[in-house]
Amino acid sequence: MPFYAQCANCGHEFESRLINFGPGVPAIRMTVGSVAETCPRCGGRARTMEGQFNMDSQGRVDVLSGPQWTRDLVVRMTPAQARKIHTVATWAEAELAKPDVDEERVRERIDQVVERNAPVLKKFLDVMLSQRAGTLYQLLAFILTVVVLFAPQLGGGEPVPDPGITEDQMRDLFEQYFAPETDSDTPTPPNPGPEAPTPEPPPTKAG
């Protein structure tokens, strides 16, 4: 995942041209702060993500600490990455319609593609699903919604500038799609009404 910057003037978010590591670099832990660059859209002053980060040899970045706006910038996906995740999600939907589907194989394939293209989303799902289990259908509905927010054209919409979602918005979506089941659909047994009085035994005759 590249480092991102955010323009203080127009709000444009873009890949940093000052901090950019690709595959093949050694894994490192680094602290970044007070790095400014020029916004390619308006020419204003932009700041790169700030905080402490781990970066592996594939160039993937994990936020160890940082302000919320940095964490929100990390939740990013390119149109190409969104398209790959959308493709595997639609494939999974078709597989789940088969009577002899291997759900474990489908889930493994989804995990692989999401981790490769959106490691922050994969990490988010790992944490959230460890707290609340869900079905594959819920997972696919959530993933497809998130992907379309990054690439609206995949859902039939028009491309928008700076598409994306914040961490808080992603958590709200998760709560919607993985809401705990309720008993609202269970029919309420009919009220039998007040109990009938127990009849008094007949009086005994004196002998």
> 141-200 pLDDT, tens per residue?
999 999 988 888 888 888 777 677 888 888 899 999 998 765 555 455 545 444 545 555
CB 71 within 8 A of CB 60: no
Query: Which helix or strand (DSSP H or E) is residue 47 part of?
Result: strand 45-48
Domain boundary assignment for the chain: 4-70, 79-177
Calculate Rg over the CA atoms of the chain. Answer: 27
Q: Tokens in use for 61? A: 């970045």
pLDDT at 3 (0 to 100) = 80
Query: Please, what is the average pLDDT of the chain?
Result: 82
Cα–Cα dist 119/126, whole Å: 10
CB 164 within 8 A of CB 148: no
| 82-118 pLDDT, tens digit each | 999 999 999 999 999 999 999 999 999 999 999 888 8
pTM across the whole model? 0.66
Q: In 75-120, where do the E strands start and end?
A: none
Concatenating the DSSP letter of every residue in 122-146 gives HHHHHHHHHHS---HHHHHHHHHHH
CB 142 within 8 A of CB 177: yes
* 154: nearest Cα among 79, 93, 88, 96: 79
Amino acid at 6: Q
CB 120 within 8 A of CB 1: yes
pLDDT higher than 60, residue 202: no
The total of other beta-carbon atoms located within 10 Å of residue 28's CB is 11
